[in-house]
Amino acid sequence: MALRLLSPPPASQSKRATFFYCLRLATRSRSLLQWQPRAPVFPHRRNAAVASTPRACVNLEDKKVPETGSEWGKVSAVLFDMDGVLCNSEEPSRRAAVDLFAEIRVEVTVDDFVPFTGTGEANFLGGVASVKGVEGFNPEAAKKRFFEIYLDKYAKPNSGIGFPGALELVTQCKSKGLKVAVASSADRVKVDANLAAAGLPLSMFDAIVSADAFENLKPAPDIFLAASKILNVPTNECIVIEDALAGVQAAKAARMRCIAVTTTLSEETLKTAGPSLIRREIGSVSLDDILSGGSCCHNEKMQRPQLVNSSGRTSPALTMSRSFPETNSTNDEVFSFEGLQGSRRDILRYGSLGIAISCLLFTISNWKAVQYASPKAIWNLLFGVSNPFSERNRGVPHSARVQQFVNYISDLETRGNASIVPEFPSKLDWLNTAPLMLRRDLKGKVVILDFWTYCCINCMHVLPDLEFLEKKYKDMPFTVVGVHSAKFDNEKDLEAIRNAILRYGITHPVVNDEDMYLWRELGVNSWPTFTIVGPNGRVLAQISGEGHRKDLDDLVEAALLFYGRKKMLDIKPIPLSLEKDNDPRLLTSPLKFPGKLAVDVLNDRLFISDSNHNRIVNSLTITE
């Protein structure tokens, strides 16, 4: 049983100081303290020394939750579940199962399969068949057909079903000397297909344990115990990362610590199985979570601590015994201000309510702006983002400024705290190229992500700057990717974006991020914004607005110099399929986006402004 001692203020301090000490204690964990109204309980005094000396408060934590830090224990291996952890494959699996049942004319929904998630394909399909009362259902035959549907429609190689951050976390674990394994209730054929579709090589795992060789699948611990044995690591030194109740239960049955992710089930549902930690997705799991259990603030929401006195007896509510010297004052001291009176409790209560109402009113009155905001954008706005483009550096010679940027990148890499750009979601539409993946196609290249929208005139003004950079570094491992982030709903239309690309002569890859996923993940808050990304997928800098050609040019040159010396660049070009070369309208018409007409009635002539050919055409003689 883990005990954490919370030291009280010295006995020499006043009663008010003692009160504020415990008030601060209360704010650290809302569930820790429960104030009793106006009538604190005082113990019978044993002697004067006990009465005048405050006792220590002890935080008794749930046995089910391991203590962080030194109490977390040694970690030697990490066992990753596949579906819902490494691969975003739970929803495609359910859709494939719905297709299977549709073939036998049984109507089901994807939600019908949620209770059977993580139990193996035979139970996954057979459980729903049993609930629906399907007679003569053969789980093994159904499983075979299920794999055919799933592999054909939903798990094609490099289809981008890997969760953002999965590859990075596995790589970080291996770099720390941890053994890593996949431990899944899925059959090996599905495991191999999913890992290939997610871009996760089999060779990076020390072991892959699938359901084929086991009779008892999760929530039985057999798969995890087998992985522990193959890795030659004791079970108490293994960390499991799971998304399903059956998986969490299997980890606990194997006496392993478990980090649960809420990609499939809600946090409240997962709590019922008692995982050690809960995180939003694998990209939110840090190496610190694995090695030391993360910070205590993450664990507090998974436990219901009680306040106990030093003799070990628990108390459901805060009592003044064992924590304060005996006093005749009450908790609710009354304050008066300009004729208004209230206790501390009332001030906190109504003050918090006022702040909440103010925030709500602000959100309603600024709803349009709030739609484009994200927690990271607010953080960037308040505390800044990596930006080496200071005014004091703009007057120095070109070579000196490039060297300053090289030093900046070197320092950024040394600290290792640069943000990692998330992977492009697989469902996005691409123009001027086939779908790209950051970890595959753009690895080894310096990339500028241009966040733009075609109705923004400022976004059009910076296109010549981007064209300048593309021409200057055309033979270098450098590319621009336009991330179209629509401000209005009508701007999300793919054909409208294609027409804008043709009209403005954009020749670099463009992705239609209609849900503004990358915008929010990178904390962008205005159009246009440029995010400069290194060949390792980390953000080097971010800058918004017009007039930054020289800044971008110098930083790109510095990045190519720095990473070139590190042998981290890949000069293989990105295959392009430009929209202008595939549009039949441009191939059959001598005009390209004509803008205006002028009629010369006296001389019987017609003039056409052929905008994208930059010319005026004296078309034809006007006839009746």
Would you name the residues annotated as active-site residues?
Answer: 81, 83
Which residues are paired to 78 by β-bridges? 180, 239
Residue 478's SS3 state is: strand
CB of 478 within 8 A of CB of 560?
A: yes
Rounded to 5°, angle at Cα 253 from 201 and 302: 90
User: What is the Cα–Cα distance from 536 to 146, expressed in whole angstroms?
Assistant: 37
Element at 20 (helix H, strand E): helix 15-28
**503 exposed, middle or buried (CB, 10 Å; 0-12, 13-18, 19+)?**
middle
CA dihedral of 336, 338, 340, 346, whole degrees rounded to 10: -60
Q: Tokens 């925030």 — which residue?
A: 359
Rounded to 5°, angle at Cα 173 from 171 and 176: 110
Residue 300's SS3 state is: helix
User: What is the Cα–Cα distance from 126 to 142, expressed in whole angstroms?
Assistant: 9
Which residues are paired to 478 by β-bridges? 446
User: What is the Cα–Cα distance from 563 to 611, expressed in whole angstroms?
Assistant: 41
CB of 617 within 8 A of CB of 607?
A: yes
Cis peptide before 37 (omega within 30 of 0): no
> Quick one: angle between helices 549-565 and 398-415, nearest 10?
60
CB of 134 within 8 A of CB of 142?
A: no
Token pair listed for 496: 């409208």
User: What is the Cα–Cα distance from 323 to 43, expressed in whole angstroms?
Assistant: 10
Rg (CA), the chain: 31
Nearest C-alpha neighbor of 485 from the set 448, 525, 543: 525
Q: How far apart are the first and last CA of the chain?
A: 99
Phi-psi region of 449 (alpha: psi -120 to 50; beta: other; left: phi over 0): beta
Phi-psi region of 78 (alpha: psi -120 to 50; beta: other; left: phi over 0): beta
User: What is the Cα–Cα distance from 535 to 285, expressed in whole angstroms?
Assistant: 23
CA 262 to chain centre: 12
Q: Are strands 539-544 and 529-533 parallel, antiparallel or unpaired?
A: antiparallel
**Alpha-carbon distance values, 259 to 254, 461, 584 (Å):** 14, 48, 54
Tell me which DSSP letter residue 162 carries.
Answer: B
User: What is the Cα–Cα distance from 617 to 597, expressed in whole angstroms?
Assistant: 10
Nearest C-alpha neighbor of 555 from the set 531, 572, 524: 531
